[in-house]
Structure 1
Amino acid sequence: MNTLKFTMLKGTTLKTEILAGMTTFLTMVYIAFVNPSILHDAGMDQGAVFTATCLVTAFACALTGLMANTPIGVAPGMALNIYFSYSVVQGMGIDWQHALAMVFISGLLFLLVTLTGLRRLLIEAIPYNLQIAILIGISLLIALISLQANQIVIDDPHSLMRLGNLNHPEVGLFFLGFVMILILDYYRIPGAIIIGILSIAVLSLMTGLTSWQGLIALPPSLEPTFLKLDFSGLTSVTALKAIFTFFLIAIFDATGTLIGLLNPTVFKQEQNYPKRLSYSLTADAAASTLAGLLGSASTSPYIESATGIEAGGRTGITALVIAVGFILMLFFFPLAKMIPSFAVGPALLYVACCMMKHLTDMKLPDISETAPCMLTIMMIPFTGSIANGIGGGIILYSVLKLVTRQQQSPLVIALSLIFVVFFVIS
């Protein structure tokens, strides 16, 4: 394996790297509770997914640290597990075994385009405004799922949706957890999400809404999800559309997050910056293929890694510390079982708020840019499908640029034609 020389950078020490790793671990450990909860809604065994989540995250972080020498935490992505459970399984009616096969295939595609350099062509071809619109649309979908799962927003035959009954203690705890996370985040307290989740879990125990399950135990068996991939029927239009969407979300999310995290002057000035970025993407793609095999959604670099970088993390030692943290988490499944949905929901709503920050990055000079972005943002939450939003936005963008005789990448035209076929046939 071609790896970067593992070196300590100027201005950092082993102690600093370890503390940075612990800081990042505390800010992203919530995924060990949230990912099993989300994939359980797809019919998957919660214990097996918990084990898969910890193992995949540990593998991804260790590979990132050793191969890319970057202080980045990598774990199952929030946008990807939401798409897995609520769009593919519940929305399209595809069982989770087929969905795992899609995760595996999309991971292989991601690995292929990263190793061959096609990733750069694809990222440069998709208009930046549309990439941001996709993130905003996903954030709205995550927020909607969070509110619906806790009966704060419910279906209504007359007006699509309406406000649910707020006179339940669970709803009060939901909003208390959300406000708590926001306040902790505002004051830059590390681990805001996990503190919020655990605080609401404790309050739910004290009020009798949940029961004590224990704290430490041997890790749950992987058997219910391990190698349970089903590749039959994946040549259908619906399946191909889902695989393509898994791939697009993974590549946009990973590339955008890594560039944002590794862009600071301390990283950009290094000679090995391009290699560190490329190897980080390769590690993420490899972890996504493993996720499909073990029983989890695709992985993605976590923006929470910024907390570790701010704490002084500069090398892969930070990522290795995160990996060790998730190995230790394997023994805390009883704690995960005690986390109710109204403790997880605030974390999802907070993540949606964080993704919404990208809205200020959009530059919309005319209607040919504004309309495709608006369509993308609306279609993702309103249709409950990330694929529909991406496809609708790309098609409208291509048509408007063609009619107004503005320049666009041939790859965008090709993608729009592919999505036209998907929409017509499906």
Structure 2
Amino acid sequence: MKNFFGFTARDTTFKREVFAGLTTFLSISYILVVNPLILSQAGMDRGAVFTATALTAIIGSLLIGLLANYPIAIAPSMGLNSFFTFSVCIGMGIDWEVALTGVFVAGIIFTILSLMKVREKIINAIPEDLKHAIASGIGFFIAFIGLKNARIIISDEATFVTIGNLTSPMTALAVIGLVVTILMLVIGINGGIFYGMVITTFIGMVFGLIDKPSSIIGKIPSLEPTFGVVFSNLFGIFTPELLAVIFTFVFVAFFDTAGALIGLTSQAGMMKDNKIPNIGKALFADSSAGVVGAVLGTSTPATSVESSAGIAVGGRTGFTSVVIATCFAIALFFSPILAVITTEVTAPALIVVGALMAMQVSNINWSKLEIAIPSFITIIMMPLSSSVATGIAFGFILYPLSLIAQKRFKDVHPIMYVLCILFILYFVL
């Protein structure tokens, strides 16, 4: 196993990989609760979606771990499941069965683009400074998510966001967890992020803030209500309205995944000479999970930015992903225990990991305006728009335009010109 995953080459150990896998799973396990809740509002069976979510995460994480040797989790995307339910099904009045078929078609398109290495070429064409900006922006984004989940930051009509009530019991629990996690990290405790979540959960139970699970083992819900429905609706997708939906699924998921892969592999120290090893296999794993997930009965999966929590505690190989997949498999039988992993428990991990990822801003050439401004806009738009893809879009438009203004036409890769035009059209249309 050490040879297969290359523990020595990536300077890692079995224990470190296991801790990384557990940490990532705890950071992302909320998806097993939240995804069924969101998709059930579109009319889907909550139990079937729970099982589909777990199986999709198992298959996707195993594929990216075994094929690409990445310490990354693949699971249904939180942004795209909301788009599926609230924009497509509720907003546009499209039946969930037809919308899910759209997800299936988008997954097939992804797979074709991956096999043709189109996605790989696009990622390799992105300038190095923008890649660091993307990684940093994701750091700010997930830190902001953590602060919101902990209610340390809340919405405000006058100022958009403001400080929350830090004396509120659950917010106070998250603050304590954040302090504990930071202190363990700064004194050099390996696995500090994982231990921080465990300690926070224990404190919450002791003070009655987190309910103890009423049972340990739960029955696995049937997939029958959602499994294979995509095959009976293939001819219902050829309408202008749904084709636009499929395009949106492809476009947003494409750059969400690209951004996440760039950020996570950069954090893990895997990026060499502005290129990511095995990126083609990773993209194939991601797109294949999309096809499988739609057949099982869940919205589009994606590379999970929460994987950064596991990378932060030392995850460097695909064995981390194997551990993540194993945890999801176990979770199918022990679903009641997942109730103790609240957003306040995982919030400190996201905040700390966000800080670690944001350190990559130091690699951006801030002395040149044509690089500094597009990079800054890329970073700031991710948390402000709650979208990795939107941040990338702004950066990809401004970067070529800045170099064109300096008459440095040859310094811009032709693919970047194409992407610039596509993103402009995306915003306009």
Distance 1:245 1:207 in 2: 42
Q: CA deviation at 1:240?
A: 2.8
In the alignment, what sits opposite 2:368? Answer: 366
Q: 1:155 to 1:131 in 2, by over 3 A?
A: same
Counterparts of 1:318-329 in structure 2, within 5 Å, are: 320=322, 322-329=324-331
In the alignment, what sits opposite 1:177? Answer: 177
Q: 1:212 to 1:188 in 2, by over 3 A?
A: same
Distance 1:296 1:115 in 2: 22
Among the aligned pairs, what percent are the same residue?
27
Distance 1:195 1:339 in 2: 13
Distance 1:154 1:112 in 2: 42
Q: 1:227 to 1:203 in 2, by over 3 A?
A: farther
In the alignment, what sits opposite 2:242? Answer: 234
Please tell me whether residue 28 in structure 1 is matched to residue 24 in structure 2: yes
Q: 1:159 to 1:128 in 2, by over 3 A?
A: same
Q: Give the aligned residue type for 1:83.
A: G
Counterparts of 1:266-415 in structure 2, within 5 Å, are: 278-294=280-296, 295=298, 298-300=301-303, 302-303=307-308, 304=310, 320=322, 322-407=324-409, 408-415=412-419
Q: Give the aligned residue type for 1:81.
A: S
Q: CA deviation at 1:247?
A: 0.7
Q: 1:106 to 1:137 in 2, by over 3 A?
A: farther
Q: Give the aligned residue type for 1:112.
A: I
From 72, 75, 94, give the equivalent of 1:74. Answer: 72
Q: SS at the partner of 1:155? A: strand
Unaligned runs of 5+ in 2: none
Query: Aligned-residue CA RMSD in angstroms?
Result: 4.0
Distance 2:377 2:132 in 1: 13
Please tell me whether residue 424 in structure 1 is matched to residue 420 in structure 2: no
In the alignment, what sits opposite 2:212? Answer: 212
**87-96 or 152-161: bigger deviation:** 87-96
Distance 1:320 1:158 in 2: 46
Judge conservation of contact 2:113–2:119 (CA < 8 Å) in 1.
Answer: yes
In the TM superposition, what whole-angstrom CA distance separates every residue of 1:335-371 from its partner, at most 9, and x where no partner exists? 1123333223223323322321222222234111111
Q: With structure 1 as the length reference, what TM-score do the two structures score?
A: 0.77
Q: CA deviation at 1:145?
A: 3.1
**45-54 or 173-182: bigger deviation:** 45-54
Q: CA deviation at 1:27?
A: 2.7
Q: Give the aligned residue type for 1:289.
A: V
Q: CA deviation at 1:396?
A: 1.7
In the TM superposition, what whole-angstrom CA distance separates every residue of 1:266-321 from its partner, at most 9, and x where no partner exists? xx9xxxx99855434433432343334442652438453575667xx7xx667545
Please tell me whether residue 250 in structure 1 is matched to residue 257 in structure 2: yes
Q: Give the aligned residue type for 1:216.
A: I
Q: 1:132 to 1:150 in 2, by over 3 A?
A: same
Q: SS at the partner of 2:243? A: coil
Q: 1:83 to 1:399 in 2, by over 3 A?
A: same
Q: 1:139 to 1:24 in 2, by over 3 A?
A: closer
Judge conservation of contact 1:104–1:288 (CA < 8 Å) in 2.
Answer: yes
Q: Give the aligned residue type for 1:235.
A: L
Judge conservation of contact 1:54–1:327 (CA < 8 Å) in 2.
Answer: yes
In the TM superposition, what whole-angstrom CA distance separates every residue of 1:142-199 from its partner, at most 9, and x where no partner exists? 3333333443222222222222222211111011112223334445545544433333
In the TM superposition, what whole-angstrom CA distance separates every residue of 1:180-235 from its partner, at most 9, and x where no partner exists? 23334445545544433333233223222332322232334445765577985332
Distance 1:87 1:374 in 2: 27
Counterparts of 1:68-147 in structure 2, within 5 Å, are: 68=68, 70=69, 72-76=70-74, 81-84=77-80, 97=96, 104-105=104-105, 107-147=107-147
Q: 1:99 to 1:198 in 2, by over 3 A?
A: farther
